[in-house]
Structure 1
Amino acid sequence: MKSPIPPLIAGFFCLAMTSHAALIAHYKFDETSGTSAVDELGVTNGVIGSGVTINQTGKSGGAYLFPDNIADSGIVDMGNAAFFSSISNQVTYSVWMNSTDSDANRNTIIFSGSDTVANSYMDLGMSGETANDGPATARNRPSGANSAVTPAKSAQQTGILGGTTRIDDGLWHHLAMTVNLTTGILTLYVDGVSAATQDFNAGVVAFPIFNNFEIGRLGRQGSKADAYGGLVDDVQVYNTALSAPEISYLFNNPGQAVPEPAAFALAGLGLLVLVQRKRG
């Protein structure tokens, strides 16, 4: 009797059945000239501020260097991105970063929210709080929340700190955050591994208003804040909460997006055929 399908191949098929990746924006930051950050999906390009230096060595291909400046010149601005209309009750943000920024403010890499309503946003980046300087941080802040900053939470804010491991070490790190309103769970991943998970408990299980997407600062309504200084590469947005294996795939395959389920199935089938041929 032939032996069972090896665990690795079975894992491929399992992932194929459960995967539901839906990429809605992908910024590789590989540009060598110009002022436009190209969305590989052709949905919404970003405007590169004059203070952002492009054509840097990235984790995969090129990268942008951000100047730690809250001015419009220090960010990449996608504005009211068209892909917002594809976000319903789940979302994932993924990014590679490399920084030694250790000032007293949060260092916001991805901002996704409102620039017309106070305190309505999601952000992913690196903590600069005095007592918790250096780890990754993520927040979901629905409209109107006026509560303490990360890692505290209130009835209207969910925020988490990625443990105590510092990422302001001048090395490349992969950050991802997933938010699922159905389960009420926010998960922060660092280098392919879940670093912290938080449920919304009695909080407002909702997303913020989405009308502004920026890289490099907290682009909220009123005063902008919490600029990021350092390298950024390969920003991806999905309209689903990616699974742990899918986040691991992003970490292990810099510059690539999570394949659609059919691609995983084909990969598993190819491995199965290869193994069977070797056995024959």
Structure 2
Amino acid sequence: MKLTGPYWRGALAVALVAALLVVQPPHSPAQAAGTDYRDTVLADNPVAYWRFGEASGSAAVDTAGSLDGIYENAPSLSQPGLVIDSDSAVRFGGATDLVHIPDSPLINQGTRTQRTIEVWFQVDDASDRQVIVEEGGGSRGLNIYVEGGQLFFGGWNLADDLTADTPWGGTFFSAAVSSGVTHHAVLVLDQLSATLTGYLDGAEAGAGAAGTLHGHGADTGIGAMNNSSRFPDGSAGGDGHYFVGVIDEVAFYNSVLSPSDVADHYAAGIAPAVEPAVEFVAPNDGAIVSGTVNVEVAASDPQDAAGALTVDISTDAGATFAPAAFNPGADTHSINWDTTLDADGPSTLVARVLDTDGNTTTANIAVSVSNNPGSDEYADMVLADGPVVYYRLGEVGGTTASDELDAVDSSYIGGPALGQTGLVIGADTSVDFDGINDFVAVPDSNLINKGQFAQRSVEAWFNVRSSAARQVIYEEGAGTRGLSIYVEAGQLYAGAWNLSGQVWGPIFLNTPVSAAATHHVVAVLDTGSFELFLDGVSVAVDGGAGMLFNHTGDTGIAAMNDAARFHDGKLSGNGLYFDGTIDEVAIYNTPLSTATISAHHTAGLLAAPQLPSVTFIAPTASDTVSGTVPVEVTASDPQDSPSD
């Protein structure tokens, strides 16, 4: 053979065994003895599959068919395999070693609209250009190679083969790759999607344009360029660009491996992580706790007994940890937590377990400390006025927005921040929505959107970061029938409409509203009228309302859930997400009176006035005075002593 490229010192082997960027040896055969990886590959019907498991000889046996390759110049066989399997691999020395694959209609002599090449490799040094696998030549072909610390994927059909999608390429893209680490590489050609896609270690690494790959009689090589190939800097001829390292498990498919197929192959080939596990036994995620609490966790490990594990527990979100005692009878670990030493409100508990091999795992839950719960006057007042659903939004964990009446529990979508400081007086918390994708999805209910209502009141507390953009506080129904409350352009809007059957509306009321301030809003539909209240006061009313009929469009808190109507028309889809805090959402199938709404607003105020009082003792209001008169008063204050 004529050598046209430099000799490279590296070692071929494919499969990332850890995300740690350290040099790792291949698996030893003793790590596993099975055929799970082989079976995974064969289940996807490769047209050729070289496992490189030979202990001697010059034939690289095709496990899927009869296209045996030829070991040239004696690469080192029977090396530790790169997948978790008892099969071995091949080390290439970088001088003249390669595997020559004979011409075949299954590979290089046929026209292909789909092709997948899969390989595991471990390169000693990824600095120089070294070919892992290639087929074709300068005009048509595919290749996978390393150079400059990158793994390159390439494809091209530069001849005009009288099809609409030729010529195309060369298409080349790359991703960073580590020397001395096992990696898994997959190159997928799909003419139907006109793409060439590369995967590294189970995840997409890049993609580019592609088309049909027509017959390409130039040779196919593994571990080197066999006769010719193409690179971003042009075509190259002859043998060369020899690989230095380990290569294993090379498969060719005349079909497309999907992203999930690639991920499954990668997962089947790597060694599973052996880590301990830990979960909380008590308290429950989202619990309200007080006094002294037993915090208990269950820790386990595939190799160590529970008593041999080191377990620590934090009650301050991981800032400090305390060692947990082992409970032999229950196989659990626990600490006693005096919650009276912590402030009321949300708290994150973290459990950390360490096994004897140095592997560690953590778990966490959210709870709420409530030793001084304060007044529940606001919630008691709301419940006394008969809501059909009432979302206090007081959860500190989980994905359920609980209805206080246990009628229509709803779901937090997008991961809003639970356990925030409440907007009304008391220990209950609120929810902060990010304005991007957070909201509460309220399921269909005969109590809300699936019934026929002549009366409806919707009540909520809110604090919006900016009231410039349109942001939904609450909406039910869709474009034909429904209600909506939202902010936009410094205004608070409330809308109601029934545009089918007994048609009325749409009615939209609005009033100025300030951002970065807590507000109380109530929209009241009563027979013949629709009224908007802000901070306990009626601000707008319209007498043109009527019956609100069945409106099965979805209901949303903090976003438009599927569809709604606004003062400038109907919109569809999810969106108009609220950016700020919402609290204490109640829905009534009765009209709240002006007096009731004012009372709710007063009861909920966090900053209720705490004014001092003063009374005259002397002189009295009816006294006639002259000369020097002592004027005496008595003064008091809910917080200060008289001397202050």
TM-score over 0.5 (shorter chain): yes
Q: What secondary structure sits across from 1:43 in the alignment?
A: coil
- Residue in structure 2 matched with residue 121 of structure 1 by the alignment: 141
The structure-2 alpha-carbon separation of the partners of 1:89 and 1:141, relative to structure 1 and needing over 3 Å to count, comes to same
The structure-2 alpha-carbon separation of the partners of 1:82 and 1:206, relative to structure 1 and needing over 3 Å to count, comes to closer
Whether the 8 Å contact between 1:80 and 1:210 is mirrored in structure 2 is: no
Equivalent residue in structure 1 for 2:213, among 207, 213, 231: 207
Number of residue pairs matched by the alignment: 209
Structure 1 residue 241: deviation in Å? 1.5
Structure 1 residue 86: deviation in Å? 6.7
Structure 1 residue 183: deviation in Å? 1.3
Matches within 5 A, 1:81-100: 81-84=104-107, 88-100=112-124
Structure 1 residue 88: deviation in Å? 2.6
Whether the 8 Å contact between 2:101 and 2:221 is mirrored in structure 1 is: yes
- Residue in structure 1 matched with residue 94 of structure 2 by the alignment: 68
The structure-2 alpha-carbon separation of the partners of 1:171 and 1:55, relative to structure 1 and needing over 3 Å to count, comes to same
Runs of 4+ in 1 over 4 A off after TM superposition: none
Equivalent residue in structure 1 for 2:226, among 197, 207, 219: 219
Q: What secondary structure sits across from 1:83 in the alignment?
A: coil
Whether the 8 Å contact between 2:112 and 2:212 is mirrored in structure 1 is: no
- Residue in structure 1 matched with residue 193 of structure 2 by the alignment: 183
1:137 and 1:91 map into 2 onto residues whose CA distance is 17
- Residue in structure 2 matched with residue 166 of structure 1 by the alignment: 177
1:223 and 1:156 map into 2 onto residues whose CA distance is 21
2:239 and 2:168 map into 1 onto residues whose CA distance is 24
Whether the 8 Å contact between 1:119 and 1:220 is mirrored in structure 2 is: no
Give the aligned residue type for 2:120: W
Structure 1: where are the runs of 5+ without partners?
1-19, 146-153, 256-280
Give the aligned residue type for 1:158: T
Give the aligned residue type for 1:95: V
Q: What secondary structure sits across from 2:252 in the alignment?
A: strand
Matches within 5 A, 1:2-151: 21-60=44-83, 61-69=87-95, 71=96, 74-84=97-107, 88-104=112-128, 106-114=129-137, 118-126=138-146, 128=147, 133-143=148-158
Q: What secondary structure sits across from 1:253 in the alignment?
A: helix
Percent identity, aligned pairs only, is 21
Please report the TM-score for the alignment, with normalisation by the length of structure 2: 0.31
Q: Deviations over 1:205-234 (max 9, x none)?
A: 231543322101122443233221110000
1:208 and 1:172 map into 2 onto residues whose CA distance is 32
Structure 1 residue 39: deviation in Å? 0.1
Give the aligned residue type for 1:99: V
Structure 1 residue 166: deviation in Å? 2.2
Whether the 8 Å contact between 1:37 and 1:76 is mirrored in structure 2 is: yes
1:50 and 1:155 map into 2 onto residues whose CA distance is 35
2:57 and 2:239 map into 1 onto residues whose CA distance is 25
Q: What secondary structure sits across from 1:32 in the alignment?
A: coil
Q: Deviations over 1:10-42 (max 9, x none)?
A: xxxxxxxxxx93311111111001110000123
Whether the 8 Å contact between 2:135 and 2:141 is mirrored in structure 1 is: yes
Q: What secondary structure sits across from 2:106 in the alignment?
A: helix
The structure-2 alpha-carbon separation of the partners of 1:101 and 1:41, relative to structure 1 and needing over 3 Å to count, comes to same
Whether the 8 Å contact between 2:119 and 2:248 is mirrored in structure 1 is: yes
More helix by share: 1
The structure-2 alpha-carbon separation of the partners of 1:180 and 1:155, relative to structure 1 and needing over 3 Å to count, comes to closer
Whether the 8 Å contact between 2:127 and 2:149 is mirrored in structure 1 is: no
* 1:156 paired to 2:181: no
Equivalent residue in structure 1 for 2:251, among 189, 213, 236: 236
Give the aligned residue type for 2:187: M
2:117 and 2:111 map into 1 onto residues whose CA distance is 12
Structure 2: where are the runs of 5+ without partners?
1-42, 161-166, 229-236, 271-644
The structure-2 alpha-carbon separation of the partners of 1:134 and 1:219, relative to structure 1 and needing over 3 Å to count, comes to same
Please report the TM-score for the alignment, with normalisation by the length of structure 1: 0.68
2:58 and 2:140 map into 1 onto residues whose CA distance is 28
2:265 and 2:204 map into 1 onto residues whose CA distance is 13
The structure-2 alpha-carbon separation of the partners of 1:208 and 1:64, relative to structure 1 and needing over 3 Å to count, comes to farther
Whether the 8 Å contact between 2:171 and 2:208 is mirrored in structure 1 is: yes
1:156 and 1:252 map into 2 onto residues whose CA distance is 32
Larger radius of gyration: 2
Give the aligned residue type for 1:22: N
Q: What secondary structure sits across from 2:224 in the alignment?
A: coil
Whether the 8 Å contact between 1:31 and 1:54 is mirrored in structure 2 is: yes
Whether the 8 Å contact between 2:131 and 2:143 is mirrored in structure 1 is: yes
The structure-2 alpha-carbon separation of the partners of 1:198 and 1:40, relative to structure 1 and needing over 3 Å to count, comes to same
Whether the 8 Å contact between 2:58 and 2:70 is mirrored in structure 1 is: yes
1:187 and 1:251 map into 2 onto residues whose CA distance is 16
Give the aligned residue type for 2:171: T
1:224 and 1:103 map into 2 onto residues whose CA distance is 19
Whether the 8 Å contact between 1:79 and 1:214 is mirrored in structure 2 is: no
Query: Aligned-pair RMSD on alpha carbons?
Result: 2.3
Q: Deviations over 1:134-160 (max 9, x none)?
A: 121110021459xxxxxxxx9531111
Whether the 8 Å contact between 1:122 and 1:208 is mirrored in structure 2 is: no
Structure 1 residue 67: deviation in Å? 1.4
Structure 1 residue 113: deviation in Å? 1.1
Give the aligned residue type for 1:248: A
Structure 1 residue 101: deviation in Å? 2.4
- Residue in structure 2 matched with residue 250 of structure 1 by the alignment: 265
Whether the 8 Å contact between 2:100 and 2:226 is mirrored in structure 1 is: no
Give the aligned residue type for 1:207: L
Structure 1 residue 199: deviation in Å? 2.2
Whether the 8 Å contact between 1:108 and 1:218 is mirrored in structure 2 is: yes
Q: What secondary structure sits across from 2:262 in the alignment?
A: helix
1:210 and 1:217 map into 2 onto residues whose CA distance is 18
Q: Deviations over 1:27-61 (max 9, x none)?
A: 11110011100001232001101231111001132
Whether the 8 Å contact between 1:54 and 1:65 is mirrored in structure 2 is: yes
2:268 and 2:61 map into 1 onto residues whose CA distance is 20
